[in-house]
Amino acid sequence: MPIDGGKAGKKKEPKEEDESKDINSELKKSLTTAIVTEKPNVKWDDVAGLEKAKDVIKEAVIYPIKMPQLYVGKRKPWRGILLYGPPGTGKSFLAKACATETQGTFYSVSSSDLITKWLGESERLVRSLFEMARASRPSVIFIDEIDSLCGSRKSGDNDSSRRVLTEFLVQTEGVDKDLTGVLILGATNTPWELDIGMRRRFEKRVYIPLPEKQARKILFKLHLGDTPSSLTEQDFELLAEHTEGYSGSDISSLVKDALMEPIRKCQAAKKFIVTEEGYYIPTAPSDPKGQPFTLLTLPDTTKLIAPLISLVKLNTKP
Ligand code: ADP
């Protein structure tokens, strides 16, 4: 049963229309579980580096919403932007920042989810997704792992994925498909696997590289946040130097693990220094000032102080 809302010139019987509405609302319900529409809380400044990509996205979504008067004559915002590059470099993160900063509705969908969870339905979900995005413009459709949705021959050339691909092409190009105010943001690690037709839909393609030294330094600082640490500017410099080839996601995991290190130290401690104010700080077994306690035998665990994160704990060796 077609659910495309009725093309011009094709009138539906009332019963057929009711049925179509039912299916449509059913699909929209399913779609809300497959896509994320809420606003994540990621600011531009939370994204380290990637200045070029940020600028392109601002050109395409932020400025047209905030300053529509600038987009006159032939100057039109980008309709499709493809973010491509190695995994874990912040493509989805950037999309989240875009969602936070736009005033419009943000739809985020993972292609592999669509294909695996919604097999058979995915084609209609795609249609509904575009319908909803058009109805609530200005809007951004973010499609993660777009290669698995629109992969060319090689990646699972089955009937279903081919139909989904066709639906995408129909939705993104067609005389009756007005996409003004709808930005399609795609992300992929393997742009060469994209169908040629699909790739053409993304007028602007932005390479998202592994972070440079300066960006890695910012990443360490961002992920550490306001967690108490003894790290100096020089330490951050050293960390950035020793993490060449790390992605933003690698650094995030590294710091996450290091953040737990003081807890582990408390857990393993056999001696604690007792401060004048009655606080307990774990210390080395050889420390003569330490008193013999363990985490379980501390008289007052609410007075336990975790040691600061230091460079030793943030060591970058695998
Ligand atoms: P991708 O979509 O490119 O595979 P993600 O955006 O999912 O990568 O990144 C995974 C995680 O790594 C993010 O949630 C974020 O915590 C961290 N990260 C990656 N790149 C950056 C960056 N440039 N700035 C801040 N955090 C980043």
Ligand 1 centroid distance, CA of 31 (Å): 25
By three-state DSSP, how is residue 292 classified? Answer: strand
Nearest CA to ligand 1 atom 7: 92
Ligand 1 centroid distance, CA of 193 (Å): 22
Ligand 1 centroid distance, CA of 223 (Å): 11
pLDDT at 291: 93
- CB-CB contact of 214 with 236 (8 Å): no
Ligand 1 centroid distance, CA of 123 (Å): 29
pLDDT at 7: 35
Q: Edge to edge, what strands does the sheet with 291-292 contain?
A: 280-283, 271-274, 291-292
pLDDT at 1: 31
Residue 253 has pLDDT above 70, yes or no: yes
Residue 112 has pLDDT above 90, yes or no: no
Provide the whole-model pTM: 0.78
Ligand 1 centroid distance, CA of 46 (Å): 10
Q: How far is C-alpha 39 from the chain's CA centre? A: 12
* Per-residue pLDDT reduced to its tens digit, 230-251: 889 999 999 999 999 999 999 9
Q: Which of 36, 93, 189, 208 gets mutated to test ligand 1 (max ligand atoms within 8 A of its CB)?
A: 93
> 15 or 106: which carries more pLDDT confidence?
106
pLDDT at 170: 85
pLDDT at 89: 95
Ligand 1 centroid distance, CA of 238 (Å): 21
pLDDT at 206: 92
- CB-CB contact of 160 with 122 (8 Å): yes
Ligand 1 centroid distance, CA of 58 (Å): 19
Q: Which of 89, 190, 216 gets mutated to test ligand 1 (max ligand atoms within 8 A of its CB)?
A: 89
* Per-residue pLDDT reduced to its tens digit, 30-41: 666 656 666 678
| Ligand 1 pocket residues where CB is under 6 Å | 47-50, 87-93, 187, 219, 222, 248-249, 252
* Per-residue pLDDT reduced to its tens digit, 174-209: 656 778 888 899 999 998 888 888 888 888 999 999
Q: For 89, list phi and psi in degrees, rounded to 5.
A: -100, 5
Average pLDDT, the chain: 81
Confidence band of 103 (pLDDT split at 50, 70, 90): low
Nearest CA to ligand 1 atom 12: 249
**Partners of 162 in the β-ladder:** none
Q: What's the rounded mean pLDDT across residues 52-59? A: 89
* Per-residue pLDDT reduced to its tens digit, 156-172: 456 667 777 888 888 88
* Per-residue pLDDT reduced to its tens digit, 133-146: 888 888 888 888 88
Lowest mean pLDDT among 17-21, 73-77, 148-152: 17-21
pLDDT at 38: 64
Nearest to 37 by CA among 132, 134, 149: 132
Token pair belonging to 1 = 């049963």
Burial (0-12, 13-18, 19+ Cβ within 10 Å), 80: buried
